[in-house]
Amino acid sequence: MAKHETPLLDQLEGGPWPSFVSDLKHQAETKPEVYDILGQLELSYKDRITHWKHGGIVGVFGYGGGIVGRYSDVPEQFPGVEHFHTIRVAQPASKYYSTENLRKLMDLWEKHGSGVTNMHGSTGDIILLGCRTEALEPFFWDLTHDMGQDLGGSGSNLRTPECCLGQSRCEWACYDTQETCYHLTLHYQDEIHRPAFPYKFKFKFSGCANDCVAAIARSDISVIGTWRDEIRIDQAAVKEYVAGNYPANGGSHSGRDWGPFDIQKEVIDLCPTECMWMEGDELKIDDKECTRCMHCINVMPRALRPGADQGASVLVGAKAPILDGAQMSTLIVPFMKVEKENEYEELIEFIETVWDWWMEVGKNRERVGETMQRIGLNNFIKIMGLEPIPQMIRIPRENPYVFWAEEEVEGGFDRDIDEFRARHAA
């Protein structure tokens, strides 16, 4: 595998942002198949089209996911990427690493694969890009035996769950997103590795409504931290903000002169529920009207903190647009305690109620949000055994087409047309 000319890609080596081209060239010095990655990519830049074939089913024994097959459509020109399968390795929660662990993984990947990775894939896995079919089992052996690590999900299974960094380095996390993510990931190993679902299924765990892992936009079950008591206020710190002694929004706007901090304009007036006001130099909040959007807390992190009675909202059904259009998750359980003490019993029961139903009625390649749409939110609520509450909708229905059940209507549906006509001539 020789070096190829790459005049188009070479133009991506300048500029202030890190260059993947320079990085690949550096790696190619010791892993010559990377020259073929660069060569094929250059050809794609010239032809303005991909040069990877469609699909290819490969994997390791006993697993139905974790590896994505990939073959070049120009293997004669670029034999080093004839097979270029992806391996998804389950990432540690919140993507903390020791260098010892990362170095071992890199050694393993250089031994068996191309030496090219994504840190990380969109769903959160460590993505190892490019190896031959015959390298898959030896890699998996070494990954499990030498490192005690495992593959992530792909295909119609539970995808590798992901969480924000949570309580490890954030003051706003309302439950332990990492422990929840870890616990459920281990609890559902079978569902991750052996596809039995109609389509993919994702869990994401965010500690607060800022939603740093975009749970509400891209996970079938979104668990987002919240609280149900009062925002904790340090009035002395409020005074410091008002006096301009603490930077607003944790200093996030320090690059431009936005003028002196104005608590009325920047906090009170931007509250979506208008539930805040000043009384003298004290900030007051009517907490029962608060929807916990996080804006005021974001702006004054030293003065305001989430309440102490913490848990999570559970929402269902987010997905990207394929096929019927994008969906955000819909609020189903406004507040749930999410605690290790009972091994997340309530959340697990919720998840399995969704799965039991969806695995039975979901069509091939139908995300749970689409199944919800197909049967209607009303029916989904019944399946979940929940009472309908207005928190589940944005607005009440705008049409009068109610599916009344016969037992709801006095006298039922059976009527006699002759008796009707006796009183009402046609």
Partner 1 sequence: MGYNPDKPMEGRITDLGPPHYAQFFPPVIKENKGKWLWHEILQPGVLMHKSETGDEVYTVRVGTARLMTCQFVREICDIADAHCDGHLRFTTRNNIEFMVDAKDKVQPLLDDLASRGNKFPVGGTGAGVTNIVHTQGWIHCHTPATDASGPVKVVMDELFEYFTSMTLPAQVRIALACCLNMCGAVHASDIAILGIHRKPPMIDHKRITGVCELPLAIASCPLGAVKPAKAMVDGEEIKSVSVTVERCMFCGNCYTMCPAMPMADPDGDGIAILVGGKVSNTRSAPKFSKLVIPFLPNNTPLWPETVEAVKKILEAYAKDAKKYERVGEWAERIGWERFFEKCDIPFTEKSIDDYRLAYNTWRTTTQFKFTSHIK
Binding to partner 1 in span 238-297, by CB under 8 A: 247, 249-256, 258, 266, 270, 272, 288-289, 291-295
- Please tell me the count of residues contacting partner 1 according to CB under 8 A: 163
- Shortest distance (Å) from residue 48 CB to partner 1: 4
Phi then psi for residue 60, to 5 deg, are: -110, 155
Residue 24 found at the interface with partner 1 (CB under 8 A): yes
Question: Interaction with partner 1 in 166-205: which residues (CB under 8 A)?
Answer: 167-171, 176, 178, 182, 185-186, 189-190, 192-193
Choose, by CB under 8 A, the member of 154, 157, 313, 371 that binds partner 1. 313
Choose, by CB under 8 A, the member of 35, 67, 78, 140 that binds partner 1. 140
User: 254: which DSSP letter?
Assistant: T
The CA angle 215-218-222, to the nearest 5 degrees, is 35
Buried b (16+ CB within 10 A) or exposed e, 331-343: bbbeebbbbeeee
The 219-238 contact track toward partner 1, x by CB under 8 A, reads -----x-x-x----------
- Shortest distance (Å) from residue 352 CB to partner 1: 18
- Shortest distance (Å) from residue 408 CB to partner 1: 20
Residue among 107, 46, 94 at smallest CA distance from 207: 94
Name the strand (E) or helix (H) holding 25: helix 20-28
d(CA 114, CA 200): 28
- Shortest distance (Å) from residue 93 CB to partner 1: 4
Choose, by CB under 8 A, the member of 156, 157, 180, 327 that binds partner 1. 327
Q: Strand (E) positions, 302-359?
A: 304-305, 310-316, 330-336
Question: Interaction with partner 1 in 32-91: which residues (CB under 8 A)?
Answer: 34, 37, 41, 44-55, 61-63, 70, 84, 86, 90-91
Of 302 and 337, nearer to partner 1 (C-beta) is: 302
Parallel/antiparallel/unpaired status of strands 162-163 and 203-206: parallel
d(CA 141, CA 138): 5
Question: Interaction with partner 1 in 383-422: which residues (CB under 8 A)?
Answer: 387, 389-398
Name the strand (E) or helix (H) holding 35: helix 33-47
Contact window for partner 1 (CB under 8 A) among 210-218, 341-349, 352-360, 409-417: 210-218
Residue 284 bridge partners (DSSP): 277
Of 165 and 278, nearer to partner 1 (C-beta) is: 165
Residue among 174, 281, 275 at smallest CA distance from 223: 174
d(CA 415, CA 396): 32
Contact window for partner 1 (CB under 8 A) among 157-165, 352-360, 405-413, 418-426: 157-165
d(CA 276, CA 267): 8
d(CA 157, CA 139): 22
- Shortest distance (Å) from residue 227 CB to partner 1: 10
Of 281 and 289, nearer to partner 1 (C-beta) is: 289
- Shortest distance (Å) from residue 282 CB to partner 1: 19
CA gyration radius for the chain?
27
